[in-house]
Structure 1
């Protein structure tokens, strides 16, 4: 994901120190039940669409904005499906981050899926039985989006 200006400003003071950041991600379905994925420019892996909310921005608004910015697809945000703190990530430039991700189930309402910025190499819809290689946490989010269960979170004491 591209680094927002406000994080660059923090990095000017914090250097490469670990930053705890909010994150949002989406499992976007179309009318055919396919899932929208982007092939990331930074690591070439297929992934759910994700991003970082701007300061003061509501998470659901942030993910709707991120999906449209990255893919050209306009979505209705239907519900929260997972809340999860990820592992620490060290980027090639040495920056360290850990994200608290809020993942939402979304429904595509308009737009054509396309690469819409420099964060993706490709954007495509995939049938559930034809998903490309995905990290386990992406597959878990898709499974949760398909269920009627309330939002998933790590229970206290199970970390």
Structure 2
């Protein structure tokens, strides 16, 4: 999905410089399995999420991101935690640098997911023990470790 008008406006002034953004992450579970997605820009596996838009509640943002990226609806059952720092620094293929501070929400699916084919090229259900063997964004290990149960 292209950058929002808000981000594009900021980028027109700061170029590729680091931009700190609030984000949301959907930790979608089915018992002990987690839904992960392989991202088109990096080829790595991660949790689903993205930036919070101006004026948007983070809870609304996580539901919107799941809808946009997976064409699915979720129920949010709690907050896992809030994460940031170096592990959540991203440099996109166009050179844009972003540091996310993300709120991770525990979620369950209400409708079947389908990757959008633009941001996400593949999805899969993985047991916690199997996630360590994936080519993944390292920060998700901390989030998954914080998930109860």
Give me the TM-score of the superposition, normalised by structure 2: 0.86
Check whether the contact 2:41–2:93 (CA below 8 A) recurs between aligned residues: no
> 1:100 offset after TM fit, Å?
1.1
Check whether the contact 1:86–1:101 (CA below 8 A) recurs between aligned residues: no
Is 2:12 the partner of 1:12? yes
Instruction: Mark the runs of 5 or more structure 1 residues left unpaired by the alignment.
Output: 148-159
Structure 1: distance between partners of 2:91 and 2:141: 23
Alignment of 1:7-156 (within 5 A): 7-30=7-30, 32-87=31-86, 88-109=89-110, 111-131=111-131, 133=134, 134-146=136-148
Check whether the contact 1:85–1:98 (CA below 8 A) recurs between aligned residues: yes
Structure 1: distance between partners of 2:14 and 2:50: 21
> 1:117 offset after TM fit, Å?
4.6
> 1:108 offset after TM fit, Å?
1.4
Q: Look up the SS of the partner of 1:99 in the other structure.
A: strand
Check whether the contact 2:22–2:100 (CA below 8 A) recurs between aligned residues: yes
Structure 1: distance between partners of 2:59 and 2:142: 20
Structure 2: distance between partners of 1:60 and 1:117: 24
Instruction: Mark the runs of 5 or more structure 2 residues left unpaired by the alignment.
Output: none
Range with bigger deviation, 40-49 or 126-135: 126-135
Structure 1: distance between partners of 2:42 and 2:67: 21
> What is the RMSD of the two structures over their aligned residues, measured on CA atoms?
1.9
Structure 1: distance between partners of 2:32 and 2:119: 25
Check whether the contact 1:25–1:49 (CA below 8 A) recurs between aligned residues: yes
> 1:94 offset after TM fit, Å?
2.3
Which runs of at least 4 in structure 1 moved beyond 4 Å after TM superposition?
A: none
Check whether the contact 2:41–2:92 (CA below 8 A) recurs between aligned residues: no
Deviations along 1:2-26, one digit per CA (max 9) or x if unpaired, are 4222101111112122211111111
Q: Which protein is bigger by CA-based radius of gyration?
A: 1
